[in-house]
Amino acid sequence: MDPLNEKDIQATFSGPVPKLKNLGFFATARYNNSDGHLFGERRYAAIDGWKIDAFRHWFTQRNADQLSSYGRIPIPDSLKTGDRALVPMAESEQLTFTGKLTYIPKPAIGITYSLFGSSGDSRGYDDSWRYAPDGRTQYRGYSHHHFLAFRHSPSATVFYNLRGSYQYNYGRSWLYESTKVADYPGASGYLPLGASDDQTGFVQGDNQYGRGKTIRKVYMMNGDFNWQVDRINMIKLGFEARQHDILYNNQPMLETDLWKSYKYSNEINGKGLEFSDYWALMENYWRNWNTTYESEKLRLANATDGDYMDYNRKPLEFAAYIQDKIELGEIVLNAGVRFDYFQPNAKTMVDKRTLSEQIGLSGNLRESVAKKQLSPRLGFSFPVSDRGAFHVSYGHFFQMPSFEKLFERPIDVHMTPLLLAGSNLGDADLKPERTIAYEVGLQQELNGQFGLDVTLFYKDIRNQLGLEAVKTVDAVGYYRYINRDYGNVKGFSLSLEKMRTGLLSGSIDYTFQYARGSASNPDFLQLIEVATRMSGESIQFPERQILALDWDQRHTLNMVLSLTKPGNWGMSCIATVGSGLPYSPSSVEQLALPDREFKNSARKPMQFNVDLKANKQFTMGALTYSLFLRVYNLLDRLNENTVYAITGRATQNARLPYDQLVQMQMLRQGGQFTMSEWDNEPSWFSEPRRVQAGLAVRF
């Protein structure tokens, strides 16, 4: 328990700008510093890995004749110099700011300028670094968003809005800003040697080499025009255009070829040496290594390396719509159509199976085709009683794949046969995901205090992403994203709302649904059926099957209960219950289970959470104070978000008795970790109870 785990400070000011008529301002700033809920234990310092790796090298040379009898090399405790302190591993620090100026020269005209800015640092949790939390990459970023809006009402029946914005996002990840490499143990810079446990995968001292940068600019303009034509028709039309400018660079530190070959001197043998003597000789060897081999130990990746990536993309999005709201007495009809347009402004390959050395050359590339869709949408409602209404809606929807899937490892940037082999290629020519949605519902007021809503829904989803295995004519295999999967979601929801009477208000809603399709994850390669052409050439095609999608939660229940005395005090409780999501089970015997029968065929444990919020207000002089309490996960329930495929639980793994015995024996020989530490995955659980208490002052 840490009462200062999270610090959150917010300030808001608003009012008229002094001496400037019709000009008002609003400004708010927030500072948040959180250690998160995922912690590691510093058993190993980052530098320990260098010495541990050297110890294993020395031990192997010294005991070469008897190594098989040792099983695993035991690491002395003296090589672990960590202080065993608990270290936050999902920490973040962020400062955000919002400013707004509003100018109203006339009642019918309004001009608004807004500025949104943020700056922050964070680290992402990686379970393999749980016992050596130092040496992890830091993520640093900032953004600013400028927004200008103009509103005009030329008459009582017409008004329109025009808006323009510019958004800039910058993100960078590194361990050190400098690329300096430590020449010897204890020197500053990137460590060229580290160690990890070969059984559990836990790092025993090291640093991450990742270095990346992302810059994204978005220029946006939109507008809408609203016209109450007569008492029956209200016309609304609008548009939005977005020009993106995305720069992505990934340039990690890599080992040089000479360092890979000569990390250890062939002239220094540990067979007749104590480790302290061996270590002293190796330290001297590493001090002089750069001079001896006229090389650095590490270097930045370049265009010939598989980890290197550097590209710029400028996709364009445009949409326009028109809608007519028709009111025929108590019958309301909304009819409209939306046009979507997407231009990736990037190249795609012509022949995906051409020679690997030619696959990224200009002769095998063409411009991607712009994607368009005209989407009709219709909705209407009519009363079924003086307190109830029936509503129906139907619509088509257009959604492009994420930019990551469109532009991941672009085919026209630094592509060689070596880089192509085994890669996942994005495709700028991917089609949009197309959804057709249907909804039918009834809203009914009950005795003036309760409102009931019953809704039936169905969605048909086409062109979902899948992964295709491709082999070039010179037998280089790779994967690429394609549109081939589909799914559907159907079900109903019931909602009962209690309007506030006296102190009490609340609501309860229940959803029952089926979400099924041919695949959930675009990175999942489906079973491949192999057939033969008449010519004898083999062909491959995916075997499709309809199965539960990853988000197929059969039952969902949400409940809200509030007790409020406006201007004095308030308390609310929010509870959510959800049935288990699907997962794919596996066998303890490690059998290859048929995917068609077992993919997403089992269910994780039920999800349950309760949050509590309370506040108390009081006034002293010109100031209004508000004491607040927020408790997230009130019951401290650890929901299991990820589970072991064998047991279906995050709390328990399973092995065959013989395998369990062997693994336990290996852990004892290594002497570093226990079975429970290996099996426990803290990030597989939801966040434990989090309490926020604070004071707000208004003046």
Instruction: Specify the pLDDT at position 588.
Output: 77
Segment 9-65, tens digit of pLDDT: 999 999 999 888 889 999 999 999 999 999 999 999 999 999 999 999 999 998 877
Decide: 249 and 40 in contact? Cβ < 8 Å.
Answer: no
pLDDT bucket at 527, cuts 50 / 70 / 90: very low
Decide: 633 and 688 in contact? Cβ < 8 Å.
Answer: yes
Instruction: Specify the pLDDT at position 18.
Output: 87
Segment 339-368, tens digit of pLDDT: 999 999 999 999 999 998 999 898 999 999
pLDDT bucket at 672, cuts 50 / 70 / 90: very high
Decide: 410 and 394 in contact? Cβ < 8 Å.
Answer: no
Residues 275 and 52: their CA atoms lie apart, in Å, by 11
Q: Candidates 3.20.20.100, 2.40.170.20, 3.40.640.10, 3.40.50.720; correct CATH number of 315-552?
A: 2.40.170.20
Instruction: Specify the pLDDT at position 541.
Output: 45
Q: What number is the average pLDDT over the span 472-486?
A: 90
pLDDT, the chain, mean: 91
Segment 141-194, tens digit of pLDDT: 999 999 999 999 999 999 999 999 999 999 999 999 999 999 999 999 999 999
Nearest to 413 by CA among 430, 431, 428, 400: 428
Nearest to 87 by CA among 27, 38, 141: 38
**What share of the chain has pLDDT > 90, as a percent?**
77
Segment 184-237, tens digit of pLDDT: 999 999 999 999 999 999 999 999 999 999 999 999 999 999 999 999 999 999
Nearest to 373 by CA among 413, 321, 417, 327: 321
Instruction: Specify the pLDDT at position 374.
Output: 97
Residue 426 DSSP label? -
Instruction: Specify the pLDDT at position 594.
Output: 54
Q: Where do the domains of the chain lie?
A: 315-552, 557-699
pLDDT bucket at 525, cuts 50 / 70 / 90: low
Nearest to 189 by CA among 64, 60, 286, 55: 286
Segment 363-400, tens digit of pLDDT: 999 999 999 999 999 999 999 888 889 999 999 999 99
Segment 236-261, tens digit of pLDDT: 999 999 999 999 999 999 999 999 99
The token pair that represents 288 in the structure block: 């002089």
Decide: 82 and 48 in contact? Cβ < 8 Å.
Answer: yes
